[in-house]
Amino acid sequence: MAQQDRALRTREALVESAAEIFDREGFSLASLAMISSRAGVSNGALHFHFASKAMLAHAVAEAAEQRLTRLTGRYEGRFPGGSLQLLIDTTHDLVRGLGEDVLLRVGFDAARSLHESGASAGSRRLWASWVRETLERARGEGALRQDAPADAVAAALVATTLGLGVLTQSPPVPRADTVTHLWGLLLPVLEAGGVAGRLMPSGTPAAAD
């Protein structure tokens, strides 16, 4: 059991280290030696878990999708503010994550780091799908205008949040303020009359705890 735990920790360290190196160097310049050195393991240990750099890139993409799924599912089934407010809060969470979490950022392919490896940017597709589903739930709840195009809004949010994640990696750009301004612009054209003025572009204070 202890040996299995060590193997799992080694694999996780390699995936995290690969994300950092891909983010910093790009896929083509990243080497397995860089990755193993960053993880503090031997090249032999790396090859035991991953036969190639491409396999590592696919593992990074898969781990990032799992991390995104946890992020979007954080409030599911227990969020009192409704689906549109849930989308606002989760957008704040995601942009913060893209700025701070290298695995999430590289999985989103924010730096085009995985493109050359053949690994797909599945996180973007997952985010777009979740945004569309959440918008449709908000429409069913009467919070989203009936004429608001969920597909177009989802595409815009995917592009915008991805861009904000790149722009906010380095201080002093205030991530929360930027996302708040974004939602301040979007809400007047999205929210139905019954909820106008009740939604919080800055996110729900309790949700950030």
Domains parsed from the chain with CATH numbers: 2-59 (1.10.10.60), 61-208 (1.10.357.10)
pLDDT value for 172: 47
pLDDT value for 13: 94
3-state secondary structure string across 123-159: HHHHHHHHHHHHHHHHHHCCCECCCCCHHHHHHHHHH
DSSP symbol at 101: -
What are the pLDDT digits (tens) for 38-87? 999 998 889 899 999 989 988 998 999 999 999 999 877 667 789 999 99
Q: pLDDT band for position 2 (50/70/90)?
A: confident
What are the pLDDT digits (tens) for 164-206? 766 655 554 556 788 898 899 889 888 898 777 788 999 987 6
pLDDT value for 114: 64
Q: pLDDT band for position 88 (50/70/90)?
A: very high
Rounded (10°) CA dihedral 157, 163, 168, 170:
170
Closest among 32, 28, 78, 24 to 51, alpha carbons compared: 32
The rounded distance, in Å, linking the Cα atoms of 82 and 192 is 13
Closest among 175, 64, 190 to 123, alpha carbons compared: 64
pTM: 0.84
Give start and end residues of each alpha helix (H) in the chain: 2-25, 32-39, 43-49, 53-72, 83-100, 102-107, 122-140, 150-167, 175-190
What are the pLDDT digits (tens) for 121-155? 688 888 989 999 999 999 999 999 999 888 888 88
